[in-house]
Amino acid sequence: MTLSRGALLGAAALLATPSLSRAQGQARLLVVGGGFGGASAAAFARRRYPDLAVTLVEPKTRFVTCPYGNLVIGGVRQMGDITHGYDGLRARGVRVVHDWATGIDAAAKRVRLGGGETLAYDRLILSPGIALRWGAIEGYDEAASERLPHAWVPGDGAQTLLLRRQLEEMPDGGVVGLAIPGNPFRCPPGPYERISMIAAYLKRHKPRSKILALDAKDAFSKQGLFQDGWNALYPGMIEWVPANRDGRVTRVDAAERVLETEFGTRHKVDVANVIPPQSAARIAIEAGLTDQSGWAPVNPVTLESRVAPGIHVVGDANIPGPMPKSGYIANSTAKQAVASAVASLRGEAPPQALYYNTCYSHVGEDYGISIVGIFRPNAEGTAIVEVPNSGGVSPRGDLPEQRRLEATYADSWYESITKDMFA
């Protein structure tokens, strides 16, 4: 499977069609959010449709990826390895504006920016990612996250580095507690890769320490593979507590570093990583694009909002059906959204949609596992479904060479997708 296969299929038919111009000039594609969905959309739009005027709005001048952030926490990658700039997109002809989008007027097709500028568009791609639901766990707000880091929305990297520093400062023999949310949330295997990378660090530097993973679920992505790896690499170090054994954290005491579960068990830990429940980012909610679930319903073929025509919501902010909220899906859906937006501007039908996902996870620095899946709209175009027999996970068993190889495939995936995004 290659990175741009889905996009190539979808976009191929559009290449031979007339240039994209409006009476007043070039057709304008506005992209809000310069992460996995947004940067992918902007880069792809300029590559496939050079006639399109593409503007990207993103407040940060440097983007820190969530993927490989767990390896920074584990001390096997540095922050510089996961930080990317926007010069490549500029060189490709994208106008990059570093500002917040503060409001969307879907009827007038305009986006207001924090700095006062208003940008008009013909089609909008919105990929603002997630918001953490402060207060969904009692006592866990932004202030508490300065003591009990989430490290789930990297921002400028401060949260990731805070968790790393707390691990470094913890004495050998300490307990690292994690609070893991119920579905849906960003990156289903992410918390378990995090447990693994924390364990890798502790094994090397603080081998008497323990990890207590309190989960709001009873099962998780690639569970058998993760647990096999934990038994092989970190025997006795990790205790995973599912919801049905009182694993759901409902309250925290930040000052005391206590994680309290549904049935009142209080776990005092030395370092706490609290990953709270999530929703679509604020701009999507404020623009009225989300439903009562907190996520944005979209057309499965075009990724266009069910609420506001002309706005395609991609990445973690939308309701993806059975697809995971992953960087790869954000990349794949972004391309389909751009191709659909262009088709609409040309008065044509959208291309056929196929969405690709491969999620690698590191269980150890040289121990990788993966899950893959291909998805498409159902025949009625009303929902996204997994293509039968398309999915799978790495086989279980004693396969050390395969685990080593998968860790290198993961490295190649990261290199390739970040090149694709940041041109």
Ligand X SMILES: Cc1cc2nc3c(=O)[nH]c(=O)nc-3n(C[C@H](O)[C@H](O)[C@H](O)COP(=O)(O)OP(=O)(O)OC[C@H]3O[C@@H](n4cnc5c(N)ncnc54)[C@H](O)[C@@H]3O)c2cc1C
Can you tell me the distance from the alpha carbon of 337 to that of 348, in angstroms, rounded to the nearest whole number?
Answer: 14
Nearest C-alpha neighbor of 131 from the set 289, 332, 331: 289
Residue with Cβ nearer ligand X (201 or 260): 201
- In the complex, minimum distance from the CB of residue 331 to ligand X, in angstroms, rounded to a whole number: 8
Spatial separation of the C-alpha atoms in residues 301 and 297, rounded to whole Å: 12
- Beta carbon of residue 350, minimum distance to ligand X (angstroms, whole number): 21
What is the rounded distance in angstroms from the CA atom of residue 120 to the CA atom of residue 104?
Answer: 10
Closest approach of ligand X to the CB of residue 197, in Å: 9
For ligand X, which is the closer residue by CB, 52 or 334? Answer: 334
Footprint of ligand X (CB under 6 A): 32-38, 57-60, 63, 66-67, 69-70, 100-101, 127-129, 152, 186-187, 190, 194, 281, 283, 315-317, 325-328, 330, 359-360
Nearer to ligand X (CB atom), residue 35 or residue 149: 35
Residue 213 burial by Cβ neighbours in a 10 Å radius (0-12, 13-18, 19+) = buried
The helix/strand/coil state of 112 is strand
> Residue 20 or 148: which CB sits closer to ligand X?
148
In terms of C-beta density within 10 A (0-12 exposed, 13-18 middle, 19 or more buried), how is residue 141 classed?
A: middle
Contact status, residue 252 vs residue 272, Cβ threshold 8 Å: yes
Computed from CA positions of residues 42, 47, 48, 54, in that sequence, does the dihedral angle turn out positive or negative? positive
In the bound state with ligand X, the residue whose beta carbon lies nearer, of 36 and 260, is: 36
* Comparison of 262 and 366: residue with beta carbon closer to ligand X: 366
Token pair for residue 324? 């995971």
Do residues 65 and 418 touch, judged by C-beta distance below 8 A? yes
Closest contact distance (angstroms) between CB of 381 and ligand X is 23
Contact (CB, 8 A) for 270 and 176:
yes
Nearer CB in complex with ligand X: 20/354: 354
347-350: long-range contacts at Cβ-Cβ below 8 A with a sequence spacing of 24 or more? 348/14, 348/17, 350/301, 350/302
Tokens of 138: 């009692």
Query: C-beta of 96: minimal distance to ligand X in Å?
Result: 11
Q: How far is the CB of 32 from ligand X (least distance, A)?
A: 5
- Closer residue to ligand X in complex, CB, 262/411: 411
Here the tokens at position 390 are 């398309």
Least Cα distance to 58 among 42, 79, 73, 47 occurs for 42
Least distance (Å) between residue 9 CB and ligand X: 20
Q: Which CB sits closer to ligand X, 60 or 306?
A: 60
Virtual torsion, Cα 292, 296, 297, 303, nearest 10 deg? 180
Residue nearest to ligand X (CB): 35
Q: What's the closest the beta carbon of residue 419 comes to ligand X, in angstroms?
A: 15
Q: Residue 87 CB, nearest distance to ligand X (Å)?
A: 16
